[in-house]
Structure 1
C-alpha cells in the first residue's frame, strides 16, 4: 500500500490490493479529489481511520445509453408524486446521505471534512446533486462527481419509499440525454444490482475513463 505525502500523486491503479485499496493518507483538497476521480480512484474510509483511496478490481456501473427503465418505475414516475430537481440543495443532499440510518450499517463514512470537500467541488461545478421532493420536503436524493463523460455516483438517501430509486433513474435519464458513457456506482451491492447496475473490470473502466 502506498502512503501519500503532500505531493499531488497517486500510484498506478494496478498496484491496488486484492480488495482495491491503493493508497493511504493525503488530503481531501479539490486538486487531489479531481486527480483521484480522473484516475479511477475514490476515497472511502471510516471516521476514525486515515483517508483510504480505492480502485477496486471490479467496478459497478450503468451504461446510460443501454439502460431500460422498468415498467413499474415508469408508472411510478408518471404518477407525479415527486418533484425532481438538480443542484438545488447540494449541501442538504450530502448531509442527509451522512445522517440517514441504513440497514446493517452502524455509522457513516461521510465525515464533516468530506462534506466540506465535496461542497467545494460542487461550488466549482465538479459535483452535482439530484433532489427528490414531496410536498416541498426533501425526501430523497443523490450526489456525485461529474467528469463530463462519466458521472461518479457517491451516495444516495431515501426518507420515503422509492425516493432514491426515482433520483437514480432521473440521473440515468439525464446522463443518457447528454451522452455520458457511464454512471460509476463504485462497488457492488444488492440494491444497485436491482436498479440495473453491473460489474466491469477495472481495466475496462479505466479505458472508458481515458477515452
Structure 2
C-alpha cells in the first residue's frame, strides 16, 4: 500500500477526495469521494439572533493557528472518531507546510471550541470541529466563514451534510457539481490571513444570512 504523506493528501484534496480512518485504532486510511457532498455557501451562513448576541457579547477570544494540535485532538476526543494517530501526524505536517489551519475559541485560558481544515487555492476543506460550551462551534464557524470571505475563498467544503451544518446554511450538492466548483476554486487564489484583516465581533455578527431570525 502506498504510504500516505502530506504531499499525497494535497493531491487527494485537489482530486476531490479526502482521507478517513475507520476508527481511532484502525491503522488504515481510506479515501472518500461521497456521491453527495456538503458545502457551506460563504454568503449563506445563517446567524440567528441568539448567535449574533453571543458574538457581540465578545466574552470569548478568537485566535487562528495558535493551538492546531489541541484543536485536532479535541475533535478526536469522542467515543467514535475517524482521526487516528497517523491522520493527526499528517495534518500536523500540513500545518507545518502552511496548508492546514485552525480557528480556536477561548474562554480565558480554556480552549472551548474550534475548527480546522485544509486550504488549496481558493478552497477550504473543513475537516472537523468541536464544542465544549454551547454555541462555541457555531461561533467558530461564523468567524471562519467571515475570514474566508475576506480572504477571497470560493469554496467551503464540509464533506458531509449534518443537521447541525444544515441549520447554519450548509447544503448538499452532487459529486459532479462539487468537482466543477472545486476546479474553479483551485484555479483561484485566496489567503487564510488576508492583509489587514480584523475579525471584529460587530461585522462578524451581521455578515451572515439575515433571513434566519429565530434561535438555532
Cα deviation code 1:176-200 (max 9, x no counterpart): 1122112100012111111211101
Name the SS of the counterpart of 2:43 in structure 1: helix
Q: TM-score, normalised by structure 2?
A: 0.80
Offset at residue 48 of structure 1 (A): 2.4
1:90 alignment counterpart = 68
Give the alignment's Cα RMSD to 1 decimal.
1.4
Q: 1:173 aligns with which of 140, 146, 161?
A: 146
Poorly superposed stretches of 4+, deviation over 4 Å: none
Offset at residue 203 of structure 1 (A): 0.9
Q: TM-score, normalised by structure 1?
A: 0.82
Matches within 5 A, 1:62-81: 62-81=40-59
Name the SS of the counterpart of 2:157 in structure 1: strand
Name the SS of the counterpart of 2:21 in structure 1: coil
Name the SS of the counterpart of 1:165 in structure 2: helix
2:21 alignment counterpart = 45
Q: Is the 8 A contact 2:45 2:168 kept in 1?
A: no
1:28 alignment counterpart = 4
- Residue 56 (1) aligns with residue 29 (2): no
Q: Is the 8 A contact 1:65 1:181 kept in 2?
A: no
Output the CA distance in 2 between the equivalents of 1:135 and 1:168. 20
2:209 alignment counterpart = none
Higher relative contact order (CA 8 A, sep 6+): 2
Q: How many residues align?
A: 182
Output the CA distance in 2 between the equivalents of 1:118 and 1:48. 17
- Residue 134 (1) aligns with residue 112 (2): no
Q: Is the 8 A contact 1:28 1:114 kept in 2?
A: no
Q: Is the 8 A contact 1:59 1:187 kept in 2?
A: yes
Name the SS of the counterpart of 1:44 in structure 2: strand
- Structure 1 pair 188/49, CA: closer, same or farther in 2 (3 Å)? farther
1:192 alignment counterpart = 165
Q: Is the 8 A contact 1:65 1:179 kept in 2?
A: no
Q: Which runs of 5+ in 1 are unaligned?
A: 7-26
